[in-house]
Amino acid sequence: MIRPWTDALARMRGRIARTAASMTAGFPHFADPATGAWTTSPAGDWTGGFWNGMLWLAARYGDDPRSRAWAAEWTARLAPRADSDTVFRGFLFYYGAALGWLLCGDAAARDVALAGAHGLAASYNPRAEALPLGAAAEEASDVGAGEANVDTVQASALLLWAHRETGDAVLRDIALRHAARHIEFCLREDGSVCQSASFDPASGRMLRRYTHKGITDDSTWARAQAWGILGWTLTHAWSGEARFRDAAERAADWWLAHAPADRVAFWDFDDPKIPDTFRDTSATAIVTASLLTLAPRASTPERARAYRDAAEATAAALVERHLRPDGLLADGCYSPRIGLATRHELVWGSYYLFEALHALAGLRDPAKIV
């Protein structure tokens, strides 16, 4: 089943090229499904790395010679964010810069990524054994020094990559402790994921769990489940430690047991209005890419087959029903609680579908880390 994947890649590459050629400032953030027009973030917010990541993938595997220059340009724009007090430097500098080195051997991108990794590591709270959200995080108005959420587990991948590049054992230690602490913070007994936790910055003791972007504080927000699967999968892939594979599998098995029959998740698994509520293609795309990465590392052959089969079926659902002819991935749901971009293209959803399609089309081997 190669042709549908290559056709989908061609559509997405076309949209990437049109966006890059026309955008003079900022980073694509989310797009209006009616017009295709992007709302941008001036400095990349928490999502700019995903745009860069698409450019690096296009540079490595596509045939548009402009992609490499575009990727380098937007990576340079990210460089000042290395000192930004946000744990989402994990997203910004792993996808936005480290991929430039891993995919294209770009030395300048490597330098930017290492600066981001060292800046991120400096925010570590050793008592909590976690990287706090930080004052410049998206939820900055809601958080203090003792807040964490499952979105941030992916930051461990940046630190583990930086450890491999530099040999700095402190980076590896922080990465593993951060990812492990979030198993305690966010992974429920049944395998579902709670988005966030509060902890005492002085003692590190967990104070509460909550889901501030879901329909209720106790619900399972689809993107929280997806971020958990992704974060623990990547931590396992970079570290080889089975405890993170096991956490990823518990979360992945829960997703597969609770996802709709048509594969595309509703924005919150506990929304009482299901099926008359928002879908979230972005959460679904995150899981699709994660399952492809997890499958060759799964604990049993049966799980490996189940994850690969589910990833293919889910990617097909996204491509057939939500990826438009112009390459726009519609029906991403950013934040219903505040009515923000509830049926839009979300740049992170597009990134993860684009990543998954490269694996499904045979362009990159998901058994390898990139």
pLDDT (average), residues 334-349? 97
Can you give the pLDDT at residue 370?
74
Domain boundary among 108, 123, 138: 123
| Confidence tier at 341 by pLDDT (50, 70, 90) | very high
Q: Is the same domain home to 22 and 102?
A: no
Are 36 and 98 in a shared domain? Answer: no
Residues 36, 51 share a domain: no
Q: What is the pLDDT of residues 278-290, one digit of tens each?
A: 999 999 999 999 9
- Res 136 pLDDT > 90: no
pLDDT at 139 over 70: no
Are 28 and 47 members of one domain? no
User: Residue 369: which pLDDT band, with cuts at 50, 70 and 90?
Assistant: confident
- The percentage of residues in the chain with a pLDDT greater than 90, rounded to a whole number, is 94
174 and 70 within one domain: no
Residues 54, 107, single domain; the answer is yes
User: What's residue 143's pLDDT?
Assistant: 58
What's the pLDDT band for 145 if we cut at 50, 70, 90?
confident
Tens of pLDDT, residue by residue over 168-220, are 999 999 999 999 999 999 999 999 999 999 999 999 999 999 998 999 999 99
**Element at 244 (helix H, strand E):** helix 242-258
Structure tokens at 223: 């993107």
Same domain, 130 and 243: yes
Based on the fold, state whether residues 30 and 88 are members of the same structural domain. no
Domain of residue 110, residue span: 43-123
Q: Are residues 69 and 34 in the same domain?
A: no
* Final residue belonging to a domain, choices 105, 123, 141: 123
C-alpha separations of 81 from 95, 180, 346 in Å:
14, 26, 21
- Residue 27 has what pLDDT? 98
User: Would the pLDDT of 276 be above 70?
Assistant: yes
Domains contained in the chain, number: 3
Please tell me the predicted confidence (pLDDT) of residue 2.
Answer: 66
Q: Is the Cβ–Cβ distance between 74 and 55 less than 8 Å?
A: yes
Task: Tell me how far apart the alpha carbons of residues 51 and 351 are, in angstroms, rounded to a whole number.
Answer: 7
How confident is the model over 72-100, as a mean pLDDT? Answer: 97
Mean pLDDT of 109-116: 98
Q: Which H or E element spans position 209?
A: strand 206-210
- pLDDT averaged over every residue in the chain: 96
pLDDT of 142 strictly over 90: no
Which one of 123, 151, 172 terminates a domain? 123
Kind and range of the H or E run holding 346: strand 345-346
- 3-state secondary structure (DSSP) of residue 152: helix
Lowest mean pLDDT among 95-99, 136-140, 263-267: 136-140
Is the same domain home to 179 and 291? no
| Number of residues assigned to the chain | 370
Peptide bond into 275 cis (omega under 30): yes
Compute the distance between CA of residue 288 and CA of residue 282 in angstroms, rounded to an integer. Answer: 10
Q: Read off the CATH number of the domain in which 6 is found.
A: 1.50.10.10
Let me know whether 17 and 69 are in one domain. Answer: no
**Whether residue 155 is found in the same domain as residue 239:** yes
Residue 23 has pLDDT above 70, yes or no: yes
pLDDT in tens, 308-329: 999 999 999 999 999 999 999 9
